[in-house]
Chains A and B, each alone.
Chain A
Amino acid sequence: GENVEQHPSTLSVQEGDSAVIKCTYSDSASNYFPWYKQELGKGPQLIIDIRSNVGEKKDQRIAVTLNKTAKHFSLHITETQPEDSAVYFCASTDSNYQLIWGAGTKLIIKP
């Protein structure tokens, strides 16, 4: 079945710097790749997603890139701010269109 690996598990960056989180997937038929942000004590929230017919998508300071050949996708956050501190999850779809989740990355923004 589909498997999603996410790295790193913890990422600490200086405020104002960029952060990159990477995920790889195993099922070449996967065609939808969302990213979620989970703040402490809250449910995860969708922040950006990309479909397999697109290589890159941007929304203000966040962007997602997809490399279908290599089967990996990445979340890029530029000009990081304290409110970006959270746990980020990537996911991809399996053959039943269910989301398969990465293990999560704890992003720490240092002042």
Chain B
Amino acid sequence: SQTIHQWPATLVQPVGSPLSLECTVEGTSNPNLYWYRQAAGRGLQLLFYSVGIGQISSEVPQNLSASRPQDRQFILSSKKLLLSDSGFYLCAWSGPHGYYGYTFGSGTRLTVV
């Protein structure tokens, strides 16, 4: 069966520090991969999605970047964190065309102080 792993679960980082969040998927090949951010009590904001290795689409301009160095690995990064980067970050995967729905990871709670 397919599983998705996301870490760390919580992270407290000072303003101006770098960020690296990792997500891996097991049990499937060539998944579509997504990074979402969720502010407290708010909806899901799509940040990046990828349909293949090295293929990244950005939905909103921001202080973050994403990379997909391997088929089932998706990384969210920042060179210098801002206070506004705080939030709940979710990784998700889907099959082609998203027909099998999205499966989300357990999320990373990022607090920038």
Contact = CB atoms under 8 A, between A and B. Distances in A.
Contacts of A49: 101
Main secondary structure of the interface of A (DSSP, over half): strand
Interface residues of A, number: 20
A97 B96 CA distance: 9
B44 interface: yes
A35 to B, nearest CB: 10
Interface in A54-78: none
User: Which of A36, A41, A45, A98 has the most chain B CB atoms inside 10 A of its CB?
Assistant: A98
B43 A101 contact: yes
Contact of B49 (A42, A98, A104): A98
Interface in B33-48: 41-44, 46
A25 interface: no
A101 B101 contact: no
A41 B106 CA distance: 8
A95 B41 CA distance: 28
Interface residues of B, number: 22
Given A89-B43, A97-B97, A104-B43, A41 B102 contact: no
Contact of B102 (A99, A102, A106): A99
Contacts of A45: 104
B44 A101 contact: yes
B106 A102 contact: no
A50 B102 CA distance: 14
Interface of A: 32, 34, 36, 41-46, 49, 89, 93, 97-99, 101-104, 106
Given A44-B44, A97-B99, 9 more contacts: A32-B99, A43-B6, A43-B107, A44-B90, A97-B96, A97-B98, A98-B46, A98-B98, A99-B102
